[in-house]
Structure 1
């Protein structure tokens, strides 16, 4: 049996903010502590607390989805349904803000399925393109997105003083859905 056939994509409900926070707090340190002078504790407290996540889950422009693999929540997807690419006035964009997995679920084709899910939502809404930010230091992620049709179209510098300066640059990547 193909490993990806065990993936179920389910919406995250506002009352599941605590569960989402718990998963985020497990995933983030597996990949990103090297970016921060404080090991990422400020960012995790700022971005992944259950109150902030519940607020986002109640926002009609934001959608979170669980990645459930073999009966376990192993990752999630966050979409901003209508958000133009920064620096442009091009309407019709859907932002893929986060696509994260626990390390034991990475590399199994699940990310591709979540991107396909995001593209299906974008097409249903009539979006012209999907876009995202990716750390310029994350060469595996860059290759992953390029392989799936995303192209580098810009860059941004993260403003967080707790972040090591050499890791603040992110690429903006875009995939047209024409």
Structure 2
């Protein structure tokens, strides 16, 4: 049993901690140690998180807790962002991460459903994201949720050029 709720500024340190931990668990192999530290220092800096969490008109943060009240995952959505390779705007799912120990329990689907519902309530026409080109498991997860690949955009770390696949889902499909 998990609890998912919208994050507030009071959750800043918890989001920072879970963000750094989950990112390291899933992506430390695509960076050098120094590169990873630099990325995390910027992406999960207190000032960046304060700006983002403090701007709910532009961003939507959700945080997931286990039955003991421990943070086990989170997500970040950016509202009304231009979709690469498309002539539309939509809700960008920028981050959705769970601890590896929580994988396969259906929690990602729960979080994604809440995000989709929130985006529809805001009349965002589309929900889109980018996923590492090499992450076929995540691509399949999103495809099973109705996303389709639009194309590839560049992404590199301090180790290699990897590339990202942009995926999109129409929230109000037309007949």
Question: So what's the TM-score if we normalise by structure 1?
Answer: 0.89
Whether 2:105 is the aligned partner of 1:142: answer no
125-134 or 79-88: bigger deviation: 79-88
Whether 2:90 is the aligned partner of 1:96: answer no
CA contact (8 A) 1:20 1:50 kept: no
1:131: which partner in 2?
128
Correspondence for 1:177 among 167, 171, 174: 171
Let me know the Cα RMSD of the aligned residues: 1.5
47-56 or 93-102: bigger deviation: 47-56
1:44: which partner in 2?
40
1:55: which partner in 2?
51
Q: Deviations over 1:94-143 (max 9, x none)?
A: 11111000111111000001110011011101111100010011111111
Partner Cα distance (1:152, 1:137) in 2: 14
Unaligned runs of 5+ in 1: 1-5
Unaligned runs of 5+ in 2: none
Whether 2:160 is the aligned partner of 1:165: answer yes
Question: Runs in 1 of length 4+ with deviation above 6 angstroms?
Answer: none
The number of aligned residues is: 169
Partner Cα distance (1:159, 1:23) in 2: 23
CA contact (8 A) 1:63 1:79 kept: yes
1:159 Cα offset (Å):
5.2
CA contact (8 A) 2:80 2:92 kept: yes
